[in-house]
Amino acid sequence: MDLTADAIVCAVLPHGEHGAVIRLFTSTSGLIAGYVRGGRSRRLRPVLLPGNLVQANLRARVEDQLAAATVELLRSRAPLAMDRLTAPGVEWLCGLTASTLPEGHAYAQLHAALAGLLEVMDHAEDVRLWAARLVRYELLLLSQLGFALDLSECAATGSRDDLVFVSPKSSKAVSRAAGQPYADRLLPLPAFLAGADAAPDWPDILAGFRTTGYFLERDLLNGGRRADILAARERLLARLSAGYRQNKE
């Protein structure tokens, strides 16, 4: 390997006394791992924050060798790590990406979505703007990894109107009329995921998190990785929900 590319830092793990193993998300090569000498030093710790955009050079003599990496900061997301809402959001986004994508496979659409979402988190004054996009990112990631939800028409009737539920068994949309008798066994399909143009409010956003969370846990986050990866998501949802309740009161 001899690769130079702009990349989003997604995970940083200590290695040895001073080094770090990093996982980077690039637009052309997908997720790649490398060893950064001195990665835990005072100079490099601010560079290797999840969410940061860096220019990385990775070199390895043989294919199965962990690449040696050097990095240069292009865009810092440090302010996001200091905010009580965006901090768990970035931790969850980057951890989810690093733990579910196979290495060395390009996911250009997913990379663009993550880069755009981090940009919105950096600048949006209304938390709902990035929270709704985060739900859509989870939905896109499921789709890119082969677990797409079919939200185009009702699984029972074929209707494209009034789709308000998702079947946890088939991963397909269900209309209000067809799903009402089984509502307690179905997941919500908020309007912003069903194609509505209007900006979503908190009840819809939290409903969206509930639905994507079900499929993420069932299809991707199983086994030993589950608890550690989902902890950041749980913190994020607790803080978003608390903020919504305060605003409501």
Please tell me the distance from the alpha carbon of residue 219 to that of residue 75, in angstroms, as a whole number.
33
At 44-100, the pLDDT tens digits run 999 999 999 999 999 998 877 899 999 999 999 999 999 999 999 999 999 999 999
Query: Is 193 a member of any domain?
Result: yes
Please tell me the distance from the alpha carbon of residue 230 to that of residue 234, in angstroms, as a whole number.
6
Average pLDDT, the chain: 93
Helix or strand run (H / E) with residue 229: helix 226-248
For residues 66 and 90, state if they share a domain: no
Please count the other Cβ atoms lying within 10 Å of the Cβ belonging to residue 172.
Answer: 18
How many folded domains does the chain comprise?
2
Mutual orientation of helices 202-219 and 127-144 as an angle, nearest 10°?
A: 30
For residues 10 and 129, state if they share a domain: no
For residues 90 and 57, state if they share a domain: no
For residues 142 and 34, state if they share a domain: no
Prediction pTM value: 0.94
pLDDT of residue 97: 97
Query: Is 160 a member of any domain?
Result: no
Domain range for 208: 86-151+189-248
26: domain CATH number? 2.40.50.140
pLDDT of residue 173: 98
Q: Detail the DSSP E strand segments found in 76-215.
A: 163-166, 173-175, 187-188
pLDDT of residue 225: 61
Instruction: For the chain, list residues with pLDDT below 70.
Output: 223-225, 247-249
pLDDT of residue 198: 78
For residues 194 and 123, state if they share a domain: yes
Task: Specify whether the CB–CB gap between 168 and 92 falls below 8 A.
Answer: no
| Domain's final residue, options 76, 103, 120 | 76
For residues 130 and 234, state if they share a domain: yes
For residues 114 and 234, state if they share a domain: yes
At 166-177, the pLDDT tens digits run 999 999 999 999
Query: Is 22 a member of any domain?
Result: yes
| Domain's final residue, options 32, 53, 76 | 76
pLDDT of residue 86: 96
